[in-house]
Amino acid sequence: MDSPPPLDVREDLNLAGVETLLAVLRALPEEAGAALLVGHNPGLHGLALLLAGAGGGRAARRAARDFPPGAVAELACDTPAWAHLAPGAATLRAFTTPKDIR
């Protein structure tokens, strides 16, 4: 049976800014194929916009306008290692707000 993925609760990330959040992602081990980052705005909003750059179409336009509490941004990138994660390196695949799931 597979063990659950590690959970790293970090109080120091409460209300963290974009650069701090980006540094956390860049420090992930290379074998981590995915990450779920839960936090607060304005940091998460800024991080999503920074990573998505100009890509993402309709989802990116919605996220740029409003990123309410409880919103989820799904980003994907082909970066070979977390350490190489850079602005514009990801595509915003989906953006969901609490109003979308009522």
Give all domains of the chain, ordered by start, each with its CATH number. 12-101 (3.40.50.1240)
Helix axes 43-52, 57-65, angle to 10 degrees: 150
pLDDT in tens, 18-57: 999 999 999 999 988 899 999 899 999 999 999 998 766 8
Give the model's pLDDT for residue 68. 94
Give the per-residue SS3 of 37-98.
CCCCCCHHHHHHHHHHCCCCHHHHHHHHHCCCCCCEEEEEECCCCHHHCCCCCEEEEEEECH
Give the model's pLDDT for residue 55. 67
DSSP state for residue 2 in the 8-state scheme: P
- The tokens for 60 are 């990116």
CA distances to 30, 54, 58 from 38, in Å? 20, 23, 23
Give which of 7, 11, 74, 88 is closest to 44, Cα–Cα: 74
Give the model's pLDDT for residue 58. 85
- Predicted structure pTM score: 0.88
pLDDT in tens, 53-91: 876 688 888 898 999 999 999 999 988 899 999 999 999
Residue 12 backbone dihedrals phi, psi, to 5 degrees: -70, -10
CA distances to 1, 31, 87 from 48, in Å? 34, 22, 10
